[in-house]
Amino acid sequence: MAGDSAYNDDTMGSFKRELEGLIPNAFVHLVAFGGNQNNDQASGFWGMVTKQIDTVCAELKEVPELAHGFHAIGLSQGGLFLRGYVEQCNQPPIRNLVTLGAPHGGIFDTPACGDHDYFCKTFYGKFKQVVYTQHVQTNIIPGQYFKDPARLDQYYQSSTFLPAINNELEPRNATHKVRLTSLGHLVMVRYAEDEMVKPPLSSWFASLELNRTVPLRESQLYQEDWLGLRTLDENGQLHLVTFPGRHLEYNAALFARDIVPYLVQPIAQTWSWVTVLDAAMSLVF
């Protein structure tokens, strides 16, 4: 779920042009880290999520076109980090948030390695062993939303991002709920054949337990409304959408039908959009 860059004209640039074509007069702002493609790509794997989101919070305040708010799209881990933006600062505010294949409920496994890819197997095997160490939790991005149901005590004690942003820790952070319920709409898209997000229903905020995935509406997080997801749902503001295909597989017709309507709603007296396209953290806005 890391690997792309805001500087990649074939991917991020192409999607930006696609949005501009679908939404006449749209303002699409791209935020990148490090000043070049290599550094921006690396930021999707190395760093600390909360600090990166703080950087984006400060940067977006300096974009005058976004002063009245904006609609946002987050791809893969970018969707999770955009939700983090809402909960950590949300100034300027996101009006409608769309996440595509985002691991909201965390991941419990890493991408599959090829049969003969011994480096991949060795690296990820070791990664899972040390995922809750201080080094990983302050330096390796995917580890900060890794939720191992067999080690929940370590997860709650050591994970530096996901437990806080999912309001799993007591006392609950009331501000997170207030900010998330300030959204006009939260649209969460899962991919029917997603091979990257494990479990795939994490894109719909499913929670992880030993030997089972608990759907959002059966979870304690939803039932007790820790984040305001139940409030959004009961008000008709939470939308769970399924797209066919593998992780982030683009379907232009479905995107135009199911996503664009949330991006064309007016904001105050202006029209603003921001797209966060991440396969790298590239909070690619």
The dihedral over CA atoms of 117, 119, 125, 130, expressed in degrees to the nearest 10, equals -160
Residues known to be catalytic: 76, 194, 247
The C-alpha angle 245, 248, 252, rounded to 5 degrees, equals: 75
70 domain residue, yes or no: yes
138 domain residue, yes or no: yes
194 domain residue, yes or no: no
Asked whether 275 and 31 are in contact (CB, 8 A), the reply is no
Range of the domain at 174: 9-187+200-228+237-276
Residue 35 has φ and ψ, to the nearest 5°, of 85, -5
Query: How does pLDDT run along the chain (285 residues), one tens digit per residue?
Result: 455 555 655 677 788 888 888 888 888 887 777 665 666 666 778 899 999 999 999 999 999 999 999 999 999 999 999 999 999 999 999 999 999 999 999 999 877 676 767 767 777 778 889 999 999 999 999 999 999 999 999 999 999 999 999 999 999 999 999 999 999 999 999 999 999 999 999 999 998 888 889 999 999 999 999 999 999 999 999 999 999 999 999 999 999 999 999 999 877 644 455 544 443 333 332
3 domain residue, yes or no: no
CATH number for the domain harbouring residue 247? 3.40.50.1820
- 47 sits in the region (left: phi over 0; alpha: psi -120 to 50; else beta) called left
Residue 248 has φ and ψ, to the nearest 5°, of 65, 20
80 domain residue, yes or no: yes
Report the predicted TM-score, pTM, of the whole model to 2 decimal places: 0.90
Asked whether 73 and 263 are in contact (CB, 8 A), the reply is yes
Structural domain count, the chain: 1
87 domain residue, yes or no: yes
193 domain residue, yes or no: no
Helix (H, G, I), strand (E, B) or coil at 3: coil
